[in-house]
Amino acid sequence: MSNSPTPNAAPRLVLVTGPSGAGRSTAINALEDIGYETIENLPLSLMPRLLSGPPLDRPLALGVSAQSRDFSANALVEAIDALQDQVGMSPEVLVVDARADILLRRYSETRRRHPAAPGETPEVGIEREADLFDPIKTRADVLIDTSEMSPHDLKSEIDRWFAVEAGPKLAVTLHSFSYKRGLPRGIDMVFDCRFLRNPYWEPALRGLDGTSTQVQTYVSDDPRYGAFFEQLRGLAELLLPAYREEGKAHLSIAFGCTGGQHRSVTITEHIAQALAETGWQVSIRHRELERQRAGQDTPVKAALAQGK
């Protein structure tokens, strides 16, 4: 088995397998989080056909369980050899394993039936899969024992072995929104910007939004803005590396104000720029501005809705 990741100019192809309960699905999800295309439970006989088309344009991870159609140790070895002959690349075999007592404890805690022995005790299924995977372990390029690992530990190990590129792997999405329409979905952190001076009350600024220089200057001139911005940036510098180390792949932060047009947009733009300058992968969503641009909240529609 390899002792360190091997760089490869071509996109990597990883076959992920291992006994039930060892963490195969967690490993597949971790690979997806770091940029791999993933397919679970693909029959071994379909792998050559899947890869017979155009060359891969990004890394691919194929999850293979003992319950996959036509699975066996010999069939897996034959599939590996066939892939090497057909696509001209060396698929890497990742086996995620755990001790029998740990697997038994995990099944006892979840009270799930073991897929290899649905009508019998989990011990029987664990023993059957142990016999099945013992010869496969000898063919593994990477063997990870999850017996003493948490899911976060496993994700970190996957990142260590199979990271696509160096640098931050945490993607950050910043949202601006109006409290009148409620919080956006799937938000991790929310900050209220309604204490800042409101450009809405300035006739020359009312029709603009926080992407304009005039509005940003007006909001930034609030005496409280500088301290607020620095506190936000400092908090991000503290938390983002910690979330990345915990294996989190995406973080959503939202900034709200009354209308979602001026103050929240301004702070979203400024924080996004600050994070991007320090190397973080940042995307922006201005919910209310997007609704306006899609024609959902034009003045005419608002008047019609109110019967005016």
Say how many C-beta atoms besides its own lie within 10 A of residue 207's C-beta. Answer: 10
Residue 86's pLDDT is: 59
- In DSSP terms, 175 is beta-bridged to 254, 285
Residue 92's pLDDT is: 85
**The pTM of the whole model exceeds 0.75:** no
Provide the 3-class DSSP secondary structure of residue 15. strand
Query: What is the rounded distance in angstroms from the CA atom of residue 221 to the CA atom of residue 219?
Result: 5
Provide the residue ranges of all domains of the chain, joining segments of one domain with +: 13-162, 171-305
Query: What is the rounded distance in angstroms from the CA atom of residue 101 to the CA atom of residue 103?
Result: 5
Mean per-residue pLDDT of the chain? 82
Name all contacts of 152-156 with Cβ < 8 Å and 24+ positions apart: 152/246, 152/247, 154/23, 154/26, 154/27, 154/30, 154/96, 155/26, 155/30, 155/33, 155/247, 156/245, 156/247
CA-CA-CA-CA dihedral for 156, 157, 162, 168, to nearest 10: 20
Residue 89's pLDDT is: 62
Residue 85's pLDDT is: 65
**Among the listed ranges 31-45, 55-69, 72-86, 196-210, which one has the minimum average pLDDT value?**
72-86
- Tell me: pLDDT of 175 over 50: yes
Residue type, 274: A
- Tell me: pLDDT of 4 over 70: no
| Residue 227 burial (C-beta neighbours within 10 Å; 0-12, 13-18, 19+) | exposed
- Tell me: pLDDT of 249 over 80: no
**Can you say whether residue 88 is alpha, beta or left, with left for phi > 0 and alpha for psi between -120 and 50 degrees?**
left
Read off the tokens for 261: 């047009």
Q: What's the CATH number for 13-162?
A: 3.40.50.300
Residue 126's pLDDT is: 86
Residue 211's pLDDT is: 95
Give the pLDDT confidence of 87-117 residue by residue, as tens digits. 556 688 899 999 988 888 888 777 677 877 7
**Among the listed ranges 27-41, 67-81, 205-219, which one has the minimum average pLDDT value?**
67-81
- Tell me: pLDDT of 3 over 50: no
